Amino acid sequence: VKITELSGKNIALYFSASWCGPCHQFTPELTEAYNQLSPKNDFEVVYVTTDQNEESFNDYFSKMPWLAIPFSDSETSKHLNELFDVKWIPYLVILSGNGKVLTDKGVDIISKYAAGAYPFTPERIQELEQAEERANQEQTLSSLLVSPSSNFVPVSELDGKNILLYFSAHWCPPCRAFLPKLIEAYHEIKAKDDAFEVVFISSDRDELSFQEFFSSMPWLALPYGDEQKSSLSKTFKIGGIPTVIALGPFGKTVKTDAKEILMAYGANAYPFTNEHLIEMAKEWPEKELSGTSFYCEECDFDLHPKCALVEVDKETKDEEKNCEDGSDQADKKEWICDGGKSVTKLELFSSLLMSETEAPFRPREKLLERQRFFQNIHKHTYLKGPMDKITSVAIPLGLALTCGTLIARGIYNMSHGIGKKE
């Protein structure tokens, strides 16, 4: 890194590594944004590696158009990791021209807004978020599915219908596994409400695969190679497949996690609105739910509904209610989670469902964040307690010493003829 070349520029510190799968997915996005911003001559990216050997570093860095901390300068890389508390990769910290941190959420910002987020100030990010919110409010089926160069099915045929956008591909095993479930739900929903449709958005690599996969589906599809596919993926921030987006009758987004809801509730979740799911929640947890869990932010833990909620003793609750307000609503069920919260079923699901970012299971972003941390952790893990020392050190050492003793004794006996028959 030539410091003289960085003076007065906005700097993005890119913590990454050749062994990291998510990094390989994000690097092309950052490269595209970098190439768009390079002509401004006031933005630079600096790669901070966590590779284990120089050959891997050189091979990965050769695909990058920006600068890097040399592999040999491990002290600087280590210092930057500690300074910015890097717990997972890819991680992008953006600094202003005077060295102040503008944001440490550069990966999310570049993924959402690309070069449009420049100069990455809080004011610019807020402006983009407000514009995104206005776009969501003005969103229509035409704006989503109609492109100037192609004729999709007439939008008039979809107006007034509840729509599922199904992002999938033939090469994706989870997509093929999920498809029968979606087909079953599709037929059940169509049987009770014809104002419903699914639109397949393909990520297939060739048209033959697209046609083969689509032939097994009873619904509509965006034509293979249609330019709206890229726009839709960006609009809904598609990070993986299969993904199902639920749209209302006027093209407004209802749910961005409809796949998980379909897996849990099937066709009963239709039309996927918060109000309908809250109504369904009145049967929970007596009704068995598949593939869901209760996440308590106080405990920072996921549990199955039967384990997460424990029904409070009815008589105790009656006494508490009568002491507090003299009410006699003894039949109102309440539960307590490990964090000590006491909530009714309806209150619990209202808090989870009424917010668009909170679903009746752990938010996908939190799962991905935790997954990235544990998959990409590169720091040493230290023993934390006496039981760790016993199970991780004492027992293995004891077994190793025992094996060594037996082997040594056997060699000694063989060399001295001990135990040999006359």
Examine the fold and report which residue of 282, 308, 336 is the final residue of a domain before the chain moves on: 282
Q: Classify residue 166: in a domain, yes or no.
A: yes
Shared domain for 7 and 131, answered yes or no, is yes
In what side-by-side order are the strands of the sheet with 101-103? 67-68, 43-49, 10-16, 91-95, 101-103
In what side-by-side order are the strands of the sheet with 334-336? 310-311, 334-336, 342-344
Q: Classify residue 335: in a domain, yes or no.
A: no
In terms of phi and psi (left: phi > 0; alpha: psi -120 to 50; beta: otherwise), the region of 44 is beta
Shared domain for 125 and 149, answered yes or no, is no
Q: Classify residue 319: in a domain, yes or no.
A: no
- Domain count within the chain: 2
Q: Classify residue 62: in a domain, yes or no.
A: yes
Examine the fold and report which residue of 223, 255, 282 is the final residue of a domain before the chain moves on: 282
| In 98-172, alpha helices (H) | 106-113, 122-137, 141-145
Q: Classify residue 383: in a domain, yes or no.
A: no
Shared domain for 80 and 155, answered yes or no, is no
Examine the fold and report which residue of 282, 301, 323 is the final residue of a domain before the chain moves on: 282
Q: Classify residue 23: in a domain, yes or no.
A: yes
Shared domain for 203 and 269, answered yes or no, is yes
Q: Which amino acid is at 58?
A: N
The answer to whether residues 247 and 162 touch, using CB atoms and an 8 Å cutoff, is yes
Q: Which amino acid is at 133?
A: E
Q: How do 220-221 and 196-202 pair as beta strands?
A: parallel
What pLDDT, on a 0 to 100 scale, did the predictor assign at position 60?
Answer: 92
Q: Classify residue 197: in a domain, yes or no.
A: yes
Shared domain for 82 and 154, answered yes or no, is no
Shared domain for 146 and 256, answered yes or no, is yes
The pLDDT profile of the chain, 422 residues, written as one tens digit per residue, is 567 777 788 899 999 999 988 888 889 989 999 999 988 888 999 999 988 889 999 999 999 999 899 999 989 999 999 999 888 889 999 998 888 899 999 998 888 888 888 889 889 888 888 887 776 666 655 555 554 444 445 556 677 888 899 999 999 899 999 999 999 999 999 999 888 989 898 988 888 989 899 989 998 888 888 777 887 887 787 878 899 999 888 778 888 888 888 888 888 888 888 888 777 766 554 434 444 555 555 555 555 554 544 444 444 444 444 444 444 443 444 444 444 444 444 444 444 444 444 444 445 555 666 666 655 555 445 555 556 666 777 888 889 999 999 999 888 888 877 766 55
Shared domain for 150 and 232, answered yes or no, is yes
| In 173-330, alpha helices (H) | 173-192, 207-214, 228-235, 258-265, 274-281, 305-308, 314-325
Query: Can you tell me whether residue 417 is helix, strand or coil?
Result: coil
The conformation of residue 205, written as its DSSP 8-state character, comes to: S
Shared domain for 92 and 190, answered yes or no, is no
Shared domain for 154 and 104, answered yes or no, is no
Distances (CA, A) of 326 to 257, 311, 312, 320, 354: 42, 22, 19, 9, 30
Q: Classify residue 164: in a domain, yes or no.
A: yes
Q: Residue 189 is part of which domain span?
A: 142-282
Shared domain for 127 and 178, answered yes or no, is no
Both tokens assigned to 124: 């610019």
Q: Which CATH number does the domain housing residue 257 bear? A: 3.40.30.10
Shared domain for 160 and 271, answered yes or no, is yes
Shared domain for 123 and 166, answered yes or no, is no
